Amino acid sequence: MANIILASSSPRRKQLLEQVGLVFDTFSPDIDESVLNGETAQSYVLRLAETKAKVVLEQFPEAIVIAADTSLSLNQYIIGKPESKQHAFEIWSALSGREHRVITGVCVASKNKIQTIAVHTQVEIQHLSPEDMEQYWDTGEPIGKAGAYAIQGYAAQYIPRIVGSYSNVVGLPLHETMQLLNTVMKSG
């Protein structure tokens, strides 16, 4: 394994890190991603990112590990990945014509230092008709995506505005991740 390990199987996170020229390996840890009672979206993504990083670091103690988890928050409720077509339609109905928050928890860890951050981006989704939802579902893109959409794909046509980091909405806030990585690398 390389000196840097991305604790994820997400092709989007991999592409984002490759975009900035980072050389790394990937290893996806198997962790329980259940939401704890009363847990906020920010606490949830930070906990999962840190847990992923620590699990990978246990197996590769000489590595620097980058781990992340992304979720959506609407009115303090955590919106995860759709479990079915009906669930995706419920998610889109809740998001339709409104703003929501995309929150990514990032953890960069080595045996000497652990750094975490939560990055928030406001995303507005236009009003979605049942036809819009049906057409989007048929693309296959919503499956496995937090909030049942991918801003970098077909869903971009439904998003008139974001405030904050675009790469955060894709799944990894690049600027903040690289800042954490530099800090951890300097600590040895």
Distances (CA, A) of 55 to 42, 44, 64, 107: 20, 17, 12, 12
User: Please, which residues have CB within 8 angstroms of residue 81's CB and are 6 or more apart in sequence?
Assistant: 143, 144, 145, 146, 148
Give the pLDDT score at 3.
93
Report, as ranges of residue numbers, the positions in the chain whose pLDDT lies below 70.
1-2, 188
pLDDT digits (tens, 9 = 90+) for 84-139: 999 999 999 999 999 999 999 999 999 999 999 999 999 999 999 999 999 999 99
Residue 155 structural domain:
4-186
Q: Answer yes or no: are the C-beta atoms of 148 and 142 closer than 8 Å.
A: yes
Check residue 120 and give its pLDDT: 98
Identity of the amino acid at 75: N
Q: What is the CATH number of the domain that holds 41?
A: 3.90.950.10
- Identify the pLDDT of residue 1: 42
Tokens of 78: 């955590």
Give the ranges where the chain is alpha helix by DSSP (H).
11-19, 41-59, 85-95, 130-138, 166-170, 174-186
> What pLDDT sits at residue 4?
97
φ, ψ of residue 115 to 5 degrees: the values are -125, 135
Q: Is there a catalytic annotation at residue 138?
A: no
Catalytic residue (choose from 32, 69, 132, 138)? 69
Residue 2: predicted pLDDT = 54
